[in-house]
Amino acid sequence: MASTDVLVVGAGIIGLAHAALAHASGLSVTVIERDHRAVGASVRNFGHACITAQHGDLYDLAQAGRKHWLDFSAKAGFWAIESGALVVAATETELQLLREFSDSRPEGQVTVLDADNVRAKLGRENTDGIRGGAFLADDLRVDPRTTVGTLAGWLNDQDGAAVHFNTAALGFGQGAARRARVSTSRGAYEADQVFICVGHDVDYLFPEVAAEHRIERCALQMTAAPAPESTTIVPAVLTATSMLRYDAFTHLPSASALRSQVSAARPDLLEIGANVMFTQRPDGTLLLGDSHSYQLTQPPFLTESTSEILLQAAAKVLDVEDILPTERWQGIYASSEVSPVLVRDIAESITLVSVTSGIGMTISFGLAEANLNAVAATRATTALQGS
């Protein structure tokens, strides 16, 4: 029987963040992943650590994870930049909301910009219809297509760490000496602690927990396209519909006015649950999105009219006639109205972790650190009680 201090199920960013931090603390770690390489939410997203726009506990987790993103980028060799994010404002209401946001944050974290400065950050000269914007200094960007693969490969090369692909977790129970036991498609493992990080597939393993937490699958439509005129755009670019979705904006005084404005001017964007935003991969390709639709099981089909609405909205920000897609895809993440994160002890030493909102990249390392600290604290208490 294979034995390890920590067993992680799932080689997406949540599983790998738990594995990488556990290994950094001196524990032996094994990751098992059912696929031959991870192709879930962690490779289908924008690669945006959207730190500044989080609120409350999620903001604390996002900020706590920031240093780990940069640290593991340096160690493992995946691309990450301190890009910041740019929120583009097209109306006075949007700009007013950004002023309120800036006022609510420490000096220098959110800088309100005039239209010329927004154009400069966008790398575009003739962008009409931009009234101003804001620069969010703390945000990071990684390349979603390569990050988890590189991190998994690096981890597998470290002493005391292994990543086993094409190995599916099938069942969980207790082993000898209060250790956890996991049966897999390639035999059984025992571990002092198991983290189950299977993204939106919680219902495959724990249907009752998924039902209780009301986990649905949120499907998003995404597009890749070359940047117009080979423009370099360093920050992640957000727009009004982004401000309707991220918690740091939604409780500000002008948020309801913005919702009314978008609802009157662009009901089509609200109907598809749009968050019109884009990021740029290191090769210059833009990742553009996205729409949101919620169901327990998602149909695999992309709706062309949804893609068109999103592409036209992005083209307007970039002041181009058309964006010519090279790829389209569907991404899925776990979503719940109960809470944005699910952390649940399934049994002694077996913890289920799923980010049930669209911010898993942003909070991955902060959440992993908090979970590992909680396990260590529980063990210390148990040891004290036993002594």
Residue closer to ligand FAD, measured from CB, 48 or 145: 48
**Contacts of residue 295, Cβ cutoff 8 Å, sequence gap at least 6:** 216, 217, 219
Give the nearest distance from C-beta 235 to ligand FAD in angstroms.
13
CB of 360 to ligand FAD, least distance (A): 2
Cβ pair 217, 296 in contact under 8 A: yes
Q: Which is nearer to ligand FAD, 185 or 381 (CB)?
A: 185
DSSP state, residue 177: G
50/115 with CB nearer ligand FAD? 50
The encoded tokens of residue 363 equal 């909070």
Work out how close the CB of 197 gets to ligand FAD at its nearest, in angstroms, rounded to a whole number. 5
Q: Give the nearest distance from C-beta 234 to ligand FAD in angstroms.
A: 15
Please count the residues of the chain.
Answer: 387
Helix (H) or strand (E) holding 8: strand 2-9
Structure-token pair, residue 221: 């439509």
Nearest to 179 by CA among 187, 169, 189, 170: 189
| Shortest distance in whole angstroms from residue 78 CB to ligand FAD | 14
H-helix segments, the chain: 13-24, 41-44, 56-76, 92-103, 115-122, 147-156, 202-205, 207-212, 240-243, 247-250, 255-265, 267-271, 304-318, 360-386
- Of 198 and 262, nearer to ligand FAD (C-beta) is 198
- In the complex, what is the shortest distance from the CB of residue 367 to ligand FAD, in angstroms, rounded to a whole number? 10
Task: Please tell me the distance from the alpha carbon of residue 218 to that of residue 238, in angstroms, as a whole number.
Answer: 20
- The answer to whether residues 74 and 22 touch, using CB atoms and an 8 Å cutoff, is no
| CA 20/CA 291 separation, integer angstroms | 32
Q: How far is the CB of 379 from ligand FAD (least distance, A)?
A: 24
Q: Is 41 in a helix, a strand, or coil?
A: helix
Amino acid at 157: D
- Rounded to the nearest whole angstrom, what is the least distance from the CB of residue 125 to ligand FAD in the complex? 27
Nearer to ligand FAD, 12 or 366 (CB): 12
Closest of 95, 124, 123 to residue 110, by C-alpha: 95
Residues lying near ligand FAD in the complex (CB under 6 A) are found at: 9-15, 32-35, 38, 40-42, 44-46, 48, 50, 168-169, 197-199, 201, 220, 222, 289-290, 331-333, 355, 358-362
Cβ proximity to ligand FAD: between 314 and 332 the closer is 332
Query: Which of 95, 288 has the CB closer to ligand FAD?
Result: 288
CA distance 3 to 194: 11
CB of 256 to ligand FAD, least distance (A): 25
**Cβ-based nearer residue to ligand FAD, 132 or 199:** 199
Complex with ligand FAD: residue 143 or 192, whichever CB lies closer: 143
